[in-house]
Structure 1
Amino acid sequence: MTRRASATISTQPSVTDAPLRYRLIHDQLKNAIALGKIAPGLVLLEGPVARVFGTSRVPVRKAFEMLHAGGLLHTFEGRGYVVASPDGSAPPPLRAPLSESALGFDEAHAPLALPSNSERIYHAMEAAVSIGITFGHFRIDESEAAEAFGVSRGTVREALSRLRDLGLVEKSAYSHWLCGPLTARAVAHDYELRVLLEPAALRASMPHLSKEKLTLALAEVERAIDEPDSIDADALERIETALHVECLSQAPNKKLLGMIGHAHMPLTVNHAFYNAFNLHPEAGTLVEHRAVLKHLLAGSTEAAVTALADHLHAGQKRTLQRLKVLAVLPEPDLPVFMHRIS
């Protein structure tokens, strides 16, 4: 394991990187106007445009305001805006039924599949909690988190409930959200469960696995081994998910899969560790993944099961080593809504 750059831990939550509806609507309308696909003078109203994009009027209103400021839309005596002429002037209003083709789209425009507020803040909270729990025991204040993210408490509660499903947070008898500390004992307990359950799930899932998907997963691992510099934390997470989630997902016992999911906290913390320190994947991890996938493709069920168990034992040792590394580092600046208990 080698660093690509100097390590800095940043757990301050941010939702500004998430795609915003008004920005996507603005960009697509701007492009269509610039290419002359929307007739000059066409009257644009919030409601019809919102229906085309499958969204509410609020982001459409914001997009219109930006286009107006950029000179691509003009106001007039009636409701809405008119599309500017190529020379930037305001042509006579043209009222016509609004459709995808009228907006310059070649085909029906799918509703904007954008994450909900809870989805947008979930990953920021997951990263903060994953790093924070390695430094101690914390209480998460719903109200402060809602204020920090600019969302409702219900939205924060939804994201925290998902983190509870991962085992990253818990709710006390007094309805306080708590997280940490992540101890060597907790890691050992999770790995003990995984060593018992994941091989069983793999054995049950094996007859139903797609050779095409296994081949793709193996190709990604091979590329990571050959070009480790190209693999970041997110790419490594996809590799881990392919083996520890997708290869087990065909097991018919869904209760078994649910118990495995609750023991995946080390995977989440490892992802945060790699992301925080901008690290390459370890060669041993990738070689172990390759062994399991090769046995699966060869149809050698028991060899794959044994290789998976060996990988989990080795993974436990690596995770405990990461905890030791974090233990000697200064505590990072954690979000304001995380209050140290011990």
Structure 2
Amino acid sequence: MKRRIRAPVPLPPSLPLSLAEAAIDADTRLRYRLIHDHLKKAIALGRVSPGLVLVEGPVAQIFGTSRVPVRKAFEMLHAGGLLHTFEGRGYLVAHPDGSVAEPLRAPLSEVTLGLDEAPVALALPSNSERIYHALEAAVSIGIAFGHFRIDESVAAEAFGVSRSTVREALNRLRDLGLIEKSAYSHWLAGPLTARAVAQDYELRMLLEPAALRASQPLLAHDVLTHAYAEIEGAIRDPDSIDADGLQRLETTLHVDCLQYAHNKKLLRTIGHAHMPLTVNHAFHNAFNLHPDVATLTEHRAILRHLLDNDVDAATAALGGHLRAAQERTLKRLKVLAVLPEPDLPKYMQRIA
């Protein structure tokens, strides 16, 4: 079992992984996330028979990839309560209520995996998508240590892509509020201040409860049931939830549960205030941390109220969760402030 790091246990004196190395893993990370999302959707919608035995080799062939990302996707689905281990090889697909089903051994194909069509080598995204996660990781950590200019040319050379590809990825980071473009067309990142974090949370505390209230009548009960079961599994074993797993839980609550609000300007404004979510993901990823139980129980309370059709209690609980999350994020910012600056990629150039 992984060791959990909690305050006041001191954190490492420097980041354990060079952010430049993130680009090496970008393709693998995209693959296991895509496999996970394909299977999660199919299982949640009841397209996969409970008890179906999933093994790495055949699934890897279906998705046109190696076994490594399939293994990671299986581990994530297991952590979310969608798959169970058993005495045989592989994993069993869980019942909709999360219980263990009898093993069902059948040939694995696009049909038995509940896929609408063959994934065709995962339909991997553009080069900008492939480098996006590396850029996001570098910027999310870097802004906690100062003010930086991102050099498109140097980034293009580092990733072996065109400047337009880098620009496309940087535009996505700008949409998240992580970076901005100056009057001279320079990409600027940071510095991340306590004031900026507080302002983002203040905006979210005002707008997210309103978006949840507007979205609640259209939230499918089976989707909420699945989200609740996933949170329950995380609470039972928080050490099984890594940074990516926590980000998925956050996305379920703060994006998926709000997406049915009719006011799209409202949703875009909320999306522009999600910088703390991205920074928290980078923080957990850099130090291999797992979510604290308080965060998970707050999520569970909101989902429970939604399942009970008590929108007043759900929005009140969401507001309380955001206030507590703000306090936790500001504490993490203080921790980062006392650490030595990490080795950032050359395309991130400090501004004096």
TM-score (norm 1): 0.72
CA shift in 2, pair 1:223/1:151, >3 Å: same
CA contact (8 A) 1:10 1:276 kept: no
Alpha-carbon distance in 1 for matches of 2:156, 2:256: 33
Mean alpha-carbon deviation: is it higher for 221-230 or for 6-15? 6-15
SS in structure 2 at match of 1:190 = helix
The answer for the alignment partner of 1:318 in structure 2 is: 328
Give, as a single letter, the amino acid of the residue that structure 1 aligns with 2:135: M
Whether 2:16 is the aligned partner of 1:8: answer: yes
Whether 2:225 is the aligned partner of 1:231: answer: no
5+ residue gaps, structure 2, are 29-108, 112-116
Instruction: Name which of 125, 128, 133 aligns with 1:118.
Output: 128
Mean alpha-carbon deviation: is it higher for 108-117 or for 328-337? 108-117
The answer for the alignment partner of 1:248 in structure 2 is: 258
SS in structure 2 at match of 1:339 = strand
The answer for the alignment partner of 1:215 in structure 2 is: 225
Cα displacement (A) at 1:229 = 1.1
Cα displacement (A) at 1:300 = 0.3
Alpha-carbon distance in 2 for matches of 1:106, 1:190: 42
Cα displacement (A) at 1:110 = 5.1
Give, as a single letter, the amino acid of the residue that structure 2 aligns with 1:117: N
Give, as a single letter, the amino acid of the residue that structure 2 aligns with 1:8: P
CA contact (8 A) 2:22 2:137 kept: no
* Cα displacement string for residues 13-66 of structure 1 (whole angstroms, at most 9, x for unaligned residues): 54333449xxxxxxxxxxxxxxxxxxxxxxxxxxxxxxxxxxxxxxxxxxxxxx
CA contact (8 A) 1:195 1:312 kept: yes
Mean alpha-carbon deviation: is it higher for 108-117 or for 124-133? 108-117
Q: How does 1:267-282 map to 2 (within 5 A)?
A: 267-282=277-292
Instruction: Name which of 284, 295, 303 aligns with 1:285.
Output: 295
* Cα displacement string for residues 114-139 of structure 1 (whole angstroms, at most 9, x for unaligned residues): 12110000000000000000000000
Instruction: Name which of 295, 298, 305 aligns with 1:295.
Output: 305
SS in structure 1 at match of 2:246 = helix
Alpha-carbon distance in 2 for matches of 1:295, 1:140: 44
SS in structure 2 at match of 1:178 = strand
Alpha-carbon distance in 2 for matches of 1:199, 1:283: 22
Give, as a single letter, the amino acid of the residue that structure 2 aligns with 1:203: R
Q: Percent identity?
A: 69
Give, as a single letter, the amino acid of the residue that structure 2 aligns with 1:11: L
* Cα displacement string for residues 256-278 of structure 1 (whole angstroms, at most 9, x for unaligned residues): 00000000000000000000000
Whether 2:331 is the aligned partner of 1:329: answer: no
Give, as a single letter, the amino acid of the residue that structure 1 aligns with 2:243: A
Whether 2:15 is the aligned partner of 1:17: answer: no
CA contact (8 A) 1:224 1:286 kept: yes
The answer for the alignment partner of 2:315 in structure 1 is: 305
Alpha-carbon distance in 2 for matches of 1:19, 1:277: 21
Whether 2:155 is the aligned partner of 1:155: answer: no
SS in structure 2 at match of 1:173 = coil
Alpha-carbon distance in 1 for matches of 2:235, 2:118: 40
Cα displacement (A) at 1:243 = 0.3
The answer for the alignment partner of 2:212 in structure 1 is: 202
CA contact (8 A) 2:26 2:134 kept: no
Give, as a single letter, the amino acid of the residue that structure 1 aligns with 2:258: L
CA shift in 2, pair 1:106/1:319, >3 Å: closer
* Cα displacement string for residues 126-165 of structure 1 (whole angstroms, at most 9, x for unaligned residues): 0000000000000000000000000000000000000000
CA contact (8 A) 1:3 1:279 kept: yes
TM-score (norm 2): 0.70
Alpha-carbon distance in 2 for matches of 1:195, 1:253: 17
Give, as a single letter, the amino acid of the residue that structure 2 aligns with 1:16: I
Alpha-carbon distance in 2 for matches of 1:181, 1:334: 15
Give, as a single letter, the amino acid of the residue that structure 2 aligns with 1:15: A
Whether 2:138 is the aligned partner of 1:136: answer: no
Q: How does 1:42-81 map to 2 (within 5 A)?
A: none
Rg larger for: 1
Q: Indicate the RMSD between aligned Cα atoms, in angstroms.
A: 2.2
How many residues align? The count is 259
CA shift in 2, pair 1:290/1:109, >3 Å: closer
Give, as a single letter, the amino acid of the residue that structure 1 aligns with 2:193: T
Give, as a single letter, the amino acid of the residue that structure 1 aligns with 2:154: E
Alpha-carbon distance in 1 for matches of 2:18, 2:279: 14
CA contact (8 A) 1:14 1:149 kept: no
